[in-house]
Structure 1
């Protein structure tokens, strides 16, 4: 995997945001026959049971949609010579993963949200990041996680998540079309010429806190 200079600079900003002192590493991916997608903790645990070594905690780095750099909680396998190996299938099928070491143990039962940074000059991306973080905060604070893919939640919580996911999809739709905050909004008001900045931007600024407040009785942590 060849990392460009600009990507190096963006990774450095991510390291700063995560308060990590180690440099990034490019770790090879070798999927075992028992490896499952999105199950890095279980995959590494099984690798340790079979081959020794230990689990090594950190973050995997993705450049998502060409608009953000994103760090996702991840674990890789460390052998007796301190060499790292990722045994979990990469989402893109890549043979390597960009890995940030912090080696802080993680409770697999908790839904830890990704950390995202805008790598464009489009402020719509900040709105999309805010919506993404809000969804992640709800998963962490209001749901019980069964495994990497399943959570248990009240139907009201799921409705709020669904609403936010819908708006997240609409915002990314504008971004992919090359639109900005002063473009027409994605709703029916936008058809009549109302700009996003004066329309659904207000939803993100004002109504999201109200939605979160409506879930207060379900908060777990």
Structure 2
């Protein structure tokens, strides 16, 4: 376990302090032969069954400097000697993670939404955060929050397709450094902010409102 150096950016410190007062550390990823990609909770439970120790909950932190920071709910393994180790490989192939311990949160088989923050004045990133929140609330309403695999039919499938299409489009625009004044991905030739921006914000906000209420009432 490597304590995060004092020169870590104030943006990261401020973001993490809003989530948890736990320690922020760099951890090496030391996957086991049975470790599944991005499946931290079952991975750690199997590790405990074989080698003892404990499960620790917290948040995996990453950022695009000056643009965007994100926290994903995550679990790591604590050995009986007190060593903290991440045993879960990730899709990016990184061999270390920035981990924020959060002793006040646990896991009850329900999906947990990521925490995201725009670090810039780029409204595209606000829209990207909104569409990701819409995706979370739409795919986790009712019993879906306990399901690893979900199926959607008819109008629900159409809504999900719309969410994914805009999520991917906004990702591509942000990755190449665009802002809301860029050409709209729909191909109209108009600027995004003059074309689909208002519709996207209205639709995504409506999805969050409707299905967030459904989650709370289940």
TM-score range, shorter chain: 0.7 to 0.9
**How far off is 1:84 after superposition?**
0.7
Does structure 2 conserve the Cα–Cα contact (< 8 Å) formed by 1:22 and 1:102?
Answer: yes
* Aligned residue number for residue 46 of structure 1: 46
* Aligned residue number for residue 105 of structure 1: 106
**How far off is 1:11 after superposition?**
2.0
**How far off is 1:159 after superposition?**
2.4
C-alpha separation between the residues in 1 aligned to 2:82 and 2:5?
26
> SS where residue 124 of structure 1 aligns?
helix
C-alpha separation between the residues in 1 aligned to 2:65 and 2:152?
29
**How far off is 1:6 after superposition?**
7.8
* Aligned residue number for residue 194 of structure 2: 198
Label 1:4 to 1:158 Cα distance change in 2 as closer, same or farther (>3 A): farther
Q: Does 1:168 align with 2:164?
A: no
C-alpha separation between the residues in 2 aligned to 1:3 and 1:171?
32
Does structure 2 conserve the Cα–Cα contact (< 8 Å) formed by 1:59 and 1:101?
Answer: yes
**How far off is 1:12 after superposition?**
1.4
The number of equivalent residue pairs is 214
* Aligned residue number for residue 185 of structure 1: 184
After the TM superposition, which of the residue ranges 74-83 and 87-96 deviates more from structure 2?
87-96
Structure 2 unmatched ranges of 5 or more? none
Label 1:214 to 1:120 Cα distance change in 2 as closer, same or farther (>3 A): closer
- TM value normalised by structure 1: 0.82
**How far off is 1:188 after superposition?**
3.4
**How far off is 1:13 after superposition?**
2.7
C-alpha separation between the residues in 2 aligned to 1:114 and 1:122?
20
C-alpha separation between the residues in 2 aligned to 1:96 and 1:213?
36
**Deviation string for 1:58-103 (max 9, x for gaps)?**
1111236984221111100111232211111133222221101113
C-alpha separation between the residues in 1 aligned to 2:48 and 2:26?
21
Does structure 1 conserve the Cα–Cα contact (< 8 Å) formed by 2:61 and 2:71?
Answer: yes
Label 1:17 to 1:141 Cα distance change in 2 as closer, same or farther (>3 A): farther
Q: Does 1:207 align with 2:206?
A: no
- TM value normalised by structure 2: 0.83
Structure 1 unmatched ranges of 5 or more? none
**How far off is 1:163 after superposition?**
0.5
Label 1:99 to 1:218 Cα distance change in 2 as closer, same or farther (>3 A): closer
After the TM superposition, which of the residue ranges 163-172 and 87-96 deviates more from structure 2?
87-96
